[in-house]
Amino acid sequence: MNLPYQLFIALKYLKTKKKHKGISVNTLISVGGVAVGVMALLVVLSVMSGFHEDLQKKILGVNAHVVILNYKGAMEGYKDVIGRLKGEQDVVSAAPFILGQVMVSHGQRAHGVFLRGVDPETEIKTTDIERFMKEGSLERLETKDEVPGIIVGRELAGSIGAFKGDLINILSPIGRIGPLGMLPKVRQFRVVGIFEVGMFEYDSNLVLTDLRAAQDFFDMKDEVTGVQLRLADIYKASLVRERIQNQLGFPLYAKDWMQMNRNLFSALKLEKFAMFIILILIILVASFNIVSTLIMNVIEKKREIAILKAMGATDKGIMTIFMLQGLVIGLFGTIIGVAGGYLLCYVLNTFQIIKLPPDVYYLSHLPVKTKLTDFLAVSLSAVGISFFATIYPAWQAAKLNPVEPLRYE
């Protein structure tokens, strides 16, 4: 199989004469510049994807994928709602919940938190909160004692000085009206478990209790705040939400996990895009090496270019030669960078070389997540930048007058 003469000459020009070793060194530097830029960009994007995935796991570990609420406030007949959703193929499980703001106190310390009432049997199937339990379990909430059980986050337990087995007070600002006005409602709970999600927001501001204890505390009788759903595919949440909302109708409405955390994930996505733009400058710098290498090559090959033109090569053919030469440099640099980036990500993820203080970041090592879309975007960007860097030197070679170099031959 015969190569086109442009590609054959372009590959040959990469192998310069011995007396012009500087050109070949510049070529290696150009390839290395592209490779380093691609590798750095891939590693940074993979680390950011790792943090994004870790954060997503923690959020979805505590919260359900889809939540059904009532515009009127409390939801009546939640068992009928759960029964109507059993036929949904994308819904794995459903669980009722109650959510309200309260104040928790122990001794002389107090802290405002969200009290979530759950049914332990269905909660285990719907969220992954059981996976984050450090002491006790969700099943301990179903106590037969007069004092209901409660599960608190590790940060909250530390801030109020509570341990497993201690009694804490839960105070609700919404109580009964007495002779002196509104009287807050106070009830004792016993700490039966401690969880640690790894996010300060949850570990310090969330407590769990049994659904019936929460109904009694908030005077909700047989009502709940809503129903939470676990899906087979979390990325179908928006589609399932729309389908469920159309099925249930007013006054019920549904919200998915992406809606409830839109600001956070939008900020992470914007940060990742900004980092991509910033680090792509490394590849742009490497492209200047390609430009300088090709310009030097054009100067060295003036005589050969003139001979090619004299033999019938067109300006387009000459331009193609040098564009292919730069494209080959970009391709080799991109391939080396992708291989090096993947290898470095694998080493960082497997051997956990970069350690992090767990008490600060709630992570023992730097999380790394390689994504095919990141690798494709970086590779295409690097090759595209390398290709555009060849246009000016190739144009200079194409417009070269063949008479001048051959005048004194």
> How would DSSP label each residue in 39-70?
HHHHHHHHHHHHHHHHHHHHHHHHS-SEEEEE
Q: Quick check: is 65 in a domain?
A: no
Do the domain assignments include residue 256? no
Nearest to 356 by CA among 345, 368, 346: 368
Same domain, 49 and 81: no
The model's confidence at residue 409, banded by pLDDT at 50, 70 and 90, is: low
- Confirm whether 255 is domain-assigned: no
Copy the structure tokens of residue 259: 């809606």
With b for 16 or more beta-carbon neighbours within 10 A and e for fewer, the 167-203 pattern comes to ebebebeeeeeeeeeeeebebebbbbbbbbbbbeebb
Residue 227 tokens, joined? 């129903």
Same-domain check for residues 228 and 346:
no
Do 225 and 133 fall into the same domain? yes
CA distance 124 to 378: 41
Q: How confident is the model at residue 406 (pLDDT cuts 50, 70, 90)?
A: low
Residue 259 lies in a domain: no
C-alpha to C-alpha distance for 14 and 222, rounded to whole angstroms = 79
Instruction: Tally the domains of the chain.
Output: 2
Task: Give start and end residues of each alpha helix (H) in 63-151.
Answer: 78-84, 120-126
Same domain, 168 and 220: yes
Domain match, 76 and 54 both:
no
**Distance from C-alpha of 93 to C-alpha of 82, rounded to nearest angstrom:** 9
- How far apart CA 343 and CA 351 sit, in angstroms, is 12
Domain assignment of residue 325, yes or no: yes
pLDDT at 408 over 60: no
Q: Read off the pLDDT of residues 11-56 as tens digits, 9 standing for 90 and up.
A: 676 665 555 554 567 778 889 999 999 999 999 999 999 988 888 8
Q: Cβ distance 346 to 46 under 8 Å? A: no
pTM, 2 dp: 0.81
- pLDDT for 117 equals 95
Give residue 118's pLDDT band: very low, low, confident or very high (50, 70, 90): very high
Please check whether residues 222 and 310 belong to one and the same domain.
Answer: no
Asked if 149 and 193 sit in the same domain, the reply is yes
**pLDDT at 303 > cutoff 60:** yes
Q: Is 254 among the domain residues?
A: no
**Residue 284: DSSP 8-state:** H
Look at residues 57, 42, 131, 60 and name the one whose alpha carbon lies nearest to residue 368: 42
Based on the domain organization, do 133 and 277 belong to the same domain?
no
The radius of gyration of the chain from alpha carbons, rounded to an integer in Å, stands at: 32
- Asked if 396 and 278 sit in the same domain, the reply is yes
112: confidence class by pLDDT, cuts 50, 70, 90: very high
Q: How confident is the model at residue 1 (pLDDT cuts 50, 70, 90)?
A: very low
In a domain, 67, yes or no: no
Is 34:269 a contact under the CB 8 Å cutoff? no
pLDDT digits (tens, 9 = 90+) for 339-364: 999 999 999 999 888 887 876 777 77
> What is the pLDDT confidence band of residue 114, given thresholds at 50, 70 and 90?
very high
**Over residues 307-331, mean pLDDT:** 87
Which residues lie closer than 8 Å to 92 by C-beta, 6 or more apart?
Answer: 125, 229, 230, 231, 232
**383 pLDDT higher than 50:** yes
Residue 73 to residue 55: CA distance in whole angstroms: 30
Inside any domain, residue 225: yes
As a whole number, the mean pLDDT across the chain is 87
Q: What is the DSSP letter of 3?
A: P
Q: Among 201, 216, 249, where does a domain finish?
A: 249
* End position of a domain, from candidates 249, 280, 305: 249
Both 108 and 148 in a single domain? yes
Q: Are residues 351 and 237 in the same domain?
A: no
Last residue of a domain, one of 220, 249, 278: 249
My answer on whether 174 and 51 are in the same domain is: no
- For residue 55, give its domain range: 5-59+264-406
